[in-house]
Amino acid sequence: MPDTLMPDPDAPRWQAVLARDPAPACGAFLYAVTTQGVFCRPGCPSRAPLRRNTRFFADAAGAEAAGFRACKRCDPKGQRAALQAEAVRAACTMIEAAETMPSLADLAQRAGYARHHFLRLFRDITGVTPRSYAEGVRARRLQAALAEGDRVAEAVAGAGFGSESRVYEAPGRLLGMTPGAARRGGAGEVIRVAHAASAMGPLLVGATASGICFIGFAEPPEALEGDLRARFPKARIVPAGEEMEAALRQVAGFIAEPVAALALPLDLRGTAFQRQVWEALQRIPLGETRSYAGLAAEIGNPAAVRAVARACARNPVALAVPCHRVVGSGGDLTGYRWGVPRKAALLAAEAKARR
């Protein structure tokens, strides 16, 4: 009988090591290098070992029991990452509690890192710089004070802005609207709403003078209108006339047969980060999907995966900003405001339309 080579049961793991794949399809594992006495993650940036010097383990406990120690570069036990995350959390707490923005030097010194190293850590973990994070904190304080009815000048001062001009220079970047509009909760604004039936149940489209501000479907009309009112608690909601019929037909038509992107004038109100995510969503072609991690990388914040997911969840104009085109890293259909079965149906229809 001729000799036959036995297949290597660890071949997929070995290929993942060579590819430095941090999330291999064969599942999580660690590998150890016998000549160096260390164990690593498959995505370790170190030079790949020889196959004959490589052993594979399911977890850190197994590798340590075999006498190997953790690699200092890829941190397979996550100890360094945990320390870094805790340092960044402490810095965020410091920013939240401070009346004025702490300097980068003070934050870095408190965390025990060099200034530039800390800046990189903070950006990698939170997706933003400390200054941007502080601006977000001040914007939240300002929005809360305005929602409670504080005068603009008092709210601006209480939120930590040096002057009203800082806020009025870029109100959309901070609040998605002017301070006065935020204080009024939509008071003085008129939102025209139109209802229709669609292939996925009741449909509601709402629009301000600037464009479509809300699209919802698949729920009772009163629930959809309640969602809209929660976003604009003091706005005057009125039935739309014929001017909304074209938009309503376009949205209903898209639900029935998504053959082209929804080209509607939009009035999107959100933080700068949210709008950045929403704009990236609008660039996803019909029939394609992105993962949350892929979308985060696309906007230049690869560590901001959770923030991207939150921005998708806060999307006020379903379908026009196609958050249904974002899926889990393994292609699984994660949560969707209007129900995962409807997300699956939309994606299937878009894939069919593209063929």
Strands annotated E in 113-164: none
| CB distance 82 to 143 below 8 Å | no
Read off the DSSP letter of residue 196.
E
Of 44, 74, 312, 323, which residue is the catalytic one?
Answer: 323
The two structure tokens encoding residue 214: 């809300």
Q: Are 107 and 118 in contact (CB under 8 A)?
A: yes
> What are the tokens at 38?
């260390």
Of the candidates 104, 90, 91, 57, the one whose C-alpha atom is nearest the C-alpha of residue 76 is: 57
Question: How many other C-beta atoms can be found within 10 angstroms of the C-beta atom of residue 70?
Answer: 20
Give residue 215's identity as a one-letter amino acid code. Answer: I
* Terminal CA-CA length for the chain: 52
CB 342 within 8 A of CB 322: no
Does the annotation count 40 as an active-site position?
yes
* 213 exposure class (CB count in 10 Å sphere: 0-12, 13-18, 19+): buried
Of 40, 71, 74, 312, the active-site residue reads 40
Pairing of strands 38-40, 30-33: antiparallel
Backbone φ and ψ of 125, nearest 5°: -85, -40
318 within 8 A of 216, measured Cβ to Cβ: yes
Alpha-carbon distance 71 to 128, whole Å?
Answer: 28
**DSSP-assigned states of every residue in 205-252:** EEE-SSSEEEEEESS-HHHHHHHHHHHSTTSEEEE--GGGHHHHHHHH
Q: Which two tokens stand for residue 84?
A: 């870094």
User: Nearest 5°: CA angle at 166, between 162 and 170?
Assistant: 160
- Residues noted as catalytic: 40, 323
